[in-house]
Structure 1
Amino acid sequence: MQFKTLPIFLAFLLMGVADAMGPLSSAVSANPFMAALMPFFVFIAFALFSVPGGVLAARIGKKKLLLLGLALCTVAVAVPAFLNPPFPLLLAAIFLLGVGTTFLQVAGNPIMRDVSNEGDYSRNLALAQGIKGVGSTASAFLVTAITGLAYFAAMGWRGAFPVFFVLMALALLLVSTLHVQEAQAEVPPSVANSLALLKEPVFALAVFGIFVYVGAEVCMAAFLKPTLETLGLNAKAAALAGPSLFFGTLTVGRLVAGGLKVSARAFFRLSAILGLAGLVFIMTGTKPLVILGVVLGGLGFANIWPMLFSITVEERPGRASELSGLMCMAISGGALVPLAMARLGGGRPVAFVVPALCFGYLVILSMKGSRKAEA
């Protein structure tokens, strides 16, 4: 690992802070609707600011957008760290955190290419995504664990935010000192010519791949636990053998991939096949096979994002920022695909045909060759 990649890895770790807004929401408000607004405001920021963020990165540079994202996140977490905000102000801060995290994602994924040695981009991005997963888990855990310390316990649900503030400020300082030789944009970017990239099949297919992948991952998060409960597991065992096992395996898979030098295309194909196999096992409704499917699914899901992202960016490095914006916009699949699964009963094994179809598409996509190779 190069020293200059460390600040970028820290930025990926802190992307996970936004994921803590889900577990935190129930502590902020007992009203389910009010609580749901917190993760919603994070999610809507991705839909609104991903493509403009990609355009901005291409115009001002990925490092500057990364710094802007860290600055917005630092201000956002400072609000509950130093104030006991009324709920509207808290939602504004959470939305600002969502915008900042969107910019971190849009800039962080392609800038990893600029700081990586030749041939290391895919595995560094896989490792970065694994570190983001660690950040998500650690941030959610910190929200609960920090209240065990007297000073932070007195702050209630706000107790983790001073820690978040210090880490964000540290990352801002470290990234500001980083020298990055960035790949330059091919043409002056705009939202219109960013969206025009979707007219090229190689990019449209990849963006849709991210859309269905994120949707399938959210399906696993939402419906594994109720599915295992229908198979006879109690709530605690279902949570452990379902989403906890899945995301634990997923994080391990990403961290392991970060230490391997393997063709991104071969790894993408293997990941898609493993993910599809896991989903087929889950669809059997047989408890041992379902749990095996959760493990295979975690390993398969683990590296779809970093491999597909890096493969796509390598097709047109000069448009990396705009492509990143488009692919981050595709995170909206996490809102729409689970609705289709819910229509089939959600927590029933047969309903996993929806994420299985998503992975069927990814398997087909993984069989396509590089446009460069075809040229």
Structure 2
Amino acid sequence: MKNNYLKSGPIFLAFLCMGFGDVVGPLTSQLQADYELTNFMAGLVTFMGFIMFGLLSVPMALFQDRKSRKFVLLLGMVIALIGLVLPILGDFSSFGLLLGALLLLGTGATLLQVAGNPIMRDVSPEGKYSRNLSFGQFFKAIGSLSGALIPLMAAKYWNLDWKILFPIYSVVLLIAVIYLYVVKIDEQKDEEATPASFGSVLALLKNPYVFFMVLAIFLYVGAEVSMSAKLPNYLAHQFNYDIKELGLWGTLFFFLALMTGRFLGGVILNWMSPTRFLKVTTIIAMLGILGLYIAPSAVVGFVSIFLIGLGFANIFPLVFSITIDAMPERSNEISGLMVTAIIGGAFVPLIFGAVADIFSLMAGFVVTLVCIGYIFGLSFYKRK
């Protein structure tokens, strides 16, 4: 089967929209200033973005096993679109309404993750699932990066702020809904496989191979969120960067490296096996983290940040696709489990923060090193 760009096009667009859910990170500090929020209230912004990954992923994976992945993908887009339109209709006057909108956006992103990752296999040529999933994550990285870049450009050139994200995202999502609706996708199903259920999900989680791979997603997402949140603090701590004016470039540089790495990963996977590439990319990530400790200047610090982004870039799609390819007949249950594990982004940063408070900021980065070290060790694990 050759790559059918008509059918894969809306899936790549769905991955772009998936990245819109990451806007809760860049929005937090801006909303805290505009609505005069306490730190606890500001924390609700990221909480709304993550909570549905833990609550809905497995139930929606079971639902799509009976309905279809395309239906769940469309449903996620529509829910996210409603979430984006509500604050516009309310003229951004109510923080409570905005929190509800972000909850809907997080719900939509959850559904897009649950359906988008396995449906990519349905539109990918034989043996090219990992490659296409890396390209999909490249598009997601563009969506994630837009949450920080668009407000900066809007403020500089048009005297606007973060609110411009909502109409822009709404238009893109509307286009994605129409495009996906009109395209027919033949979903791969094993007719002999038993239907997915909570029992089959729990049985899969008892499988050591699946458990270890799900834990890898939990730790990876936690490490990525920790990096995007703490790299500005790193630049301030090590090189006296002003967080408000220059520190944000640490996060932006990290996201740019993620985007670059995911594009390169899609190319590299044309000739390198996913398991071997997982070893290479985790080594690069660990070298980048170690570089933070020995960087004698900001230039070397930014090189280390770029290496971290390159190394992190393809871990999620590699772990996901390797597991799905090992057990394709259970792709819906595996997708639900792995998307549930994204909630690691809410817990690992708490551990990072606790270690940083007790010891030092640089000690906190050891937490991310341990997370990636685990995935590196897992890359040698052979499924029996």
Question: TM-score, with normalisation over the residues of structure 1?
Answer: 0.90
1:110 and 2:115 correspond? no
Could you tell me how far 1:144 is from its partner in structure 2?
A: 4.8
Structure-to-structure mapping, 1:69-108, within 5 angstroms: 69-84=76-91, 86-108=94-116
What is the count of residue pairs matched by the alignment? Answer: 367
CA deviation profile, 1:133-192 (whole Å, cap 9, x unmatched): 111112433345456788x95xx7543322222211111111112222212262222233
Given that residues 8 and 123 in structure 2 are in contact (C-alpha distance below 8 angstroms), is that contact kept between their aligned partners in structure 1?
yes
Distance (Å, rounded) in 2 between the aligned partners of 1:291 and 1:302: 16
Q: Which of 120, 141, 164 is 2:128 aligned to?
A: 120
Distance (Å, rounded) in 2 between the aligned partners of 1:265 and 1:45: 30
Distance (Å, rounded) in 2 between the aligned partners of 1:226 and 1:267: 31
* Letter of the 1:360 counterpart: G
- The residue number in structure 1 matching 2:15 is 12
Given that residues 131 and 265 in structure 2 are in contact (C-alpha distance below 8 angstroms), is that contact kept between their aligned partners in structure 1?
yes
- The residue number in structure 2 matching 1:184 is 189
1:48 and 2:55 correspond? yes
Distance (Å, rounded) in 2 between the aligned partners of 1:202 and 1:134: 31
Unaligned 5+ segments in structure 2 are none
1:162 and 1:291, CA in 2 relative to 1: closer, same or farther beyond 3 A? closer
- The residue number in structure 1 matching 2:37 is 31
- The residue number in structure 1 matching 2:165 is 160
- The residue number in structure 1 matching 2:238 is 231
SS at match of 2:186: coil
Could you tell me how far 1:285 is from its partner in structure 2?
A: 5.8
Could you tell me how far 1:81 is from its partner in structure 2?
A: 2.8
Identity of aligned residues (%): 39
Q: CA RMSD in A?
A: 2.3
- Which deviates more, 355-364 or 107-116? 355-364
CA deviation profile, 1:223-272 (whole Å, cap 9, x unmatched): 222223222332245443x3222221111000111223121111111111
Q: Which of 226, 239, 251 is 2:259 aligned to?
A: 251
- The residue number in structure 1 matching 2:288 is 278
CA deviation profile, 1:28-81 (whole Å, cap 9, x unmatched): 522134333222211111111111121112121111110111111122112123
Distance (Å, rounded) in 1 between the aligned partners of 2:178 and 2:151: 24
SS at match of 2:356: coil
1:268 and 2:298 correspond? no
Unaligned 5+ segments in structure 1 are none
Question: TM-score, with normalisation over the residues of structure 2?
Answer: 0.88
Given that residues 145 and 256 in structure 2 are in contact (C-alpha distance below 8 angstroms), is that contact kept between their aligned partners in structure 1?
no
- Which deviates more, 89-98 or 54-63? 89-98
1:340 and 2:365 correspond? no
Distance (Å, rounded) in 2 between the aligned partners of 1:228 and 1:149: 27
- Which deviates more, 32-41 or 10-19? 32-41
* Letter of the 2:131 counterpart: R
* Letter of the 2:219 counterpart: V
SS at match of 2:351: helix
Could you tell me how far 1:349 is from its partner in structure 2?
A: 2.5
Could you tell me how far 1:303 is from its partner in structure 2?
A: 0.5
